[in-house]
A and B are shown apart, each in its own frame.
Chain A
Amino acid sequence: MTSPAEVPITSNDDVVRVRQVVRGLAAEVKMSLVDQTKVVTAASELARNTFVYGGGGTATVELVTNPATGRTGVKIVFTDEGPGIPDVDLALTEGWSSGSGLGLGLSGTRRLVDEFDLETEPGTGTRISVTKWTR
């Protein structure tokens, strides 16, 4: 599978595609089944947020190596040029949703991955980068 892979997110079907690309790369670095499922689920959450709240965007999925530990991993960066998140703390609160969701996507994703980095600017957009390392 090619890395990095750029997947546009403009429909619900693209959420499934992001999931498939992530699963492919996670399997390629021989991630455990539990970790594969976790990173795929995290990608699913963020891709759907990008589509639903960010008005669409892109996911860049790539294989990475940690120079310090030599471990390989999968890194996914989601970007959109949507409204941004005005109150990040609120958005990361378990159970809070501005829509009709469970409000568990962002907070849960943070626990599913090893690295989580969120940059957002109201009116400009959102960029969320996550990484899951093999063990």
Chain B
Amino acid sequence: MRIAVLLSAGRHAVSGRPAPVPVELQAVGLAADFVERHGADLTGLHAGPDVGPLRDALGHGLPNLVHLVTGADDDPLPSLAAALREGAFDLILAGRVAQGGEDSGLLPYALARALGLPIVSDAAALAPGETPGTLNVEQALPRGARRRLLVRLPVLVTVHPAAPAARPFAFAGARRGILETRPGLAAPRASTGLEERPYRPRPKLIAKAAAGASAAERLKAATEAASGGGRLLVDPPPEEAAREILAYLAGIGVVAKR
């Protein structure tokens, strides 16, 4: 089995300096664990003008990294698609969204479309399926729920931040790892036609009432959460208190109704 991990040139969330994207290092960790348990070939792939801090991925468990050199304004999609097609990978891992580029999270989907592969999002754990040529993917859902999927290989999988933490950096691993440089394909990126300006945080919507509601309703919605003003029972017998609490919890659906 051959596994590829896609690495993007990220920027640190606070300092804005070039850095690997954390979830992609988690993907490297997932792949490295898979290789140790079940045996496979593992390669990292990056398309861009410069590897920079992505070399650190070698210290986080990646045995080798292929750098496809493209221009600064080139679209990485054709280079990656060509390299992946040539490598005949069974499993391709990617992060959810990049951090520092367009940040739309579209690349894995466009890549899957270009390669004709199925895509599965938000993996938190990977294991080989019972029949050969299949893969068990544990998909992370909101609120800590999971979905177990059985998919046919080859497949492209994006990794969720709920996956196990990235392996710690090991200097020896970084020395041992092999960085290979190959020329990529020139593919000037089409202009998005969007105006760009410095980012300004927008106020989040606080009031739960809708815009069409009256002023009184909006005021009520904005102040309601803080004041509670619910039911109050003073010194009830414990049995009655328990019954009230359980009925309330069942009413909002957090415990099962019986």
Does A associate with B in a complex? no
Chain B residues close to A by CB (< 8 Å): none
Chain A residues close to B by CB (< 8 Å): none
